[in-house]
Structure 1
């Protein structure tokens, strides 16, 4: 019952309400412990076990680390005390800032301390990442599933919590039924959720996913592909790869080295061709757009 009451209190409040000015009260009705903000030694902080994001690559953190090294951590990290421990805090929101601060070799970081339940901690972690598009579709789906399994949320509850439609929540949760290999493509950013839904339930979903990636198919093309028996579909990529000449391969390597991203060129002679650039994060996409605008690719 207490967990349900805590859930109802948290639902619909949003990230600002949960960690903003309206600090939660403790059992005596007094405001919970709050430092607004203070700095603590970086070793006092520990990772959030409810963090839905599992992948923190050096590439993802590179720009943030450079910013932190130059300007410090501007936005305080939201933490909660670790029960029964002294000088120990669990990160609620801001794990990327904490990791970047470690990489930048900072000794102390600013924090705001909040007294939050496990359910509220998971809520905040999911909301923060979803709002900033920091989660890949599988991490997002697993986060929703965890709210439902561990804290008895319904799909309607999750929809209200994150401010997205119930159909979005339902469609995201369905991604968990994909084969493990296809979920891996999603998590790596090789496939979009739209591509994955197009082949969901297909007997040859893994093979179809590989062809979508290899041929750089659009979601609409993937939908058409998913409606056909896979054996009736020609696997074009093998022949294309075999026909690539040394100049094309060299150009692929040059662009890939410049961007730090995987690049594939499908040149069809006089009829033109296409260039496929694979990115995993919005920051990488922004960098591609910036370079295109400045003519530096």
Structure 2
């Protein structure tokens, strides 16, 4: 062990190397990346460590664009807007919203990738048995499918799948996960006798799976995408003003269910 290596080895990284007057990101001088890589390409390089081809980069960017917002009733957005009226700064309001993203609100994309991988192992003739095994282990809910508001179609999903088809035709991705997603959607429609749309989580999961992105990282990319909507809503609420806004207007009361009587 050389002198001082105990300090330099404390934080080991292959992401960045620098000294006065030099900054290298993943082995490339930062000045060679500026103006030559798009922001999505830079995100992928930073996180995954490898460059994306142009068609793959277009897919990744489409996934990021598609998931930026889900309206002020989405818990992450609502929390950020409420926080913006409480006297904290914009970044703190953003952090409040991001911290709402969990297994239920924000985790379905990662879970959908796991579902796709499970069905991929089952093979093209194993859809029925694969779904049964998944449900035995995880419950009836299939992550990435169904939507309480967008019926019969989530308008984002067909567009994203069309881009995957284009990329598959160009040889940039396999198209295998898009096929699995469509098989699930078709089976659910047959079983229920009504459309059960692939939602934004299922569609972006197709793209991330096609790009070889691990589920936990895909979930991080979703948070990165949703942070744009969180920033936009927190800033809009800051401009609109308001003080200590709760989830409903103050003249609405909650239902008391304890002992005694509430007027």
Name the one with the larger strand percent.
1
The TM-score, its normalising length taken from structure 2, stands at 0.23
Q: Whose relative contact order is higher, 1 or 2, with alpha carbons under 8 Å and at least 6 apart? A: 2
The TM-score, its normalising length taken from structure 1, stands at 0.21
